[in-house]
Amino acid sequence: MTDQLKDVKLPEGMNNETLAHLMEPQNYGKLDDANGVGVALDEKTKEYVIFYTLLKDGIIKNAKYATNGCQDTVVIGSMFTDMIKDNNLDYAKGAIKRMNEKLGTMSAQQQVCADIVFSSFLASLTNYENVQKGADEELHLFKMKESCDAINS
């Protein structure tokens, strides 16, 4: 954590790691040399996450994400990309469960934010696999079953 955040009083339920990712998100933006691109879309709210992965020899060498979503989505994307970088695919797929455990009890809306990040990651792996099999696919899209909007109505 940066020195400027060390004396910040944390809101209830927030830990230092979450605050650091909120204040200084990591791995945000486009990854130009990605070989897996996935998108998860909430059709009702039009919220999306684009997940970029660079895989080499079964290792996630780099991962980035972009979103038009809320701060929860940004924080979860930041934490998750940090967790999976430089790890193999088996670790990365298991990281979804570990990330849910790390986040603990979340509101229904926060869970949808987490799910849209994880779904975009899985879509990027599907895109990678499809392209490896010869498909002409720029990205792979998953449409979300749950919507942030439905939770709030």
Q: Which pLDDT does position 1 carry in this prediction?
A: 45
Amino acid at 20: A
Q: Give dist(CA 137, CA 127) in Å, integer.
A: 7
Site of tokens 């990040």: 117
Q: Give dist(CA 33, CA 43) in Å, integer.
A: 28
Q: Supply 10's token pair.
A: 């944390």
Q: Give dist(CA 126, CA 140) in Å, integer.
A: 7
Q: Which pLDDT does position 104 carry in this prediction?
A: 73
36-93 pLDDT, tens digit each? 999 999 998 899 999 999 999 999 999 999 999 888 899 899 999 999 999 999 999 8
Per-residue pLDDT averaged across 98-127, rounded?
Answer: 87
Weakest mean pLDDT among 16-25, 95-104, 114-123, 138-147? 16-25
Q: For residue 40, how many C-alpha atoms fall within 13 Å in the half-sphere facing its CB?
A: 28
Q: Is the pLDDT of residue 19 over 80?
A: no
Tell me the CATH class for 26-152.
alpha beta
**Confidence class of residue 4 from pLDDT cuts 50, 70 and 90?**
low
Q: Which residue in 102, 82, 106, 101 sits closest to 92, CA to CA? A: 82
Q: Mark 47-63 as b/e (b = at least 16 C-beta within 10 Å).
A: bbbbbbbbbeeeebebb
Q: Are 65 and 77 in contact (CB under 8 A)?
A: yes
Mean pLDDT of the chain: 85
Percent of the chain surpassing pLDDT 70: 81
Q: Which pLDDT does position 109 carry in this prediction?
A: 83
Q: Supply 93's token pair.
A: 């797929």
Q: Where are the domains of the chain?
A: 26-152
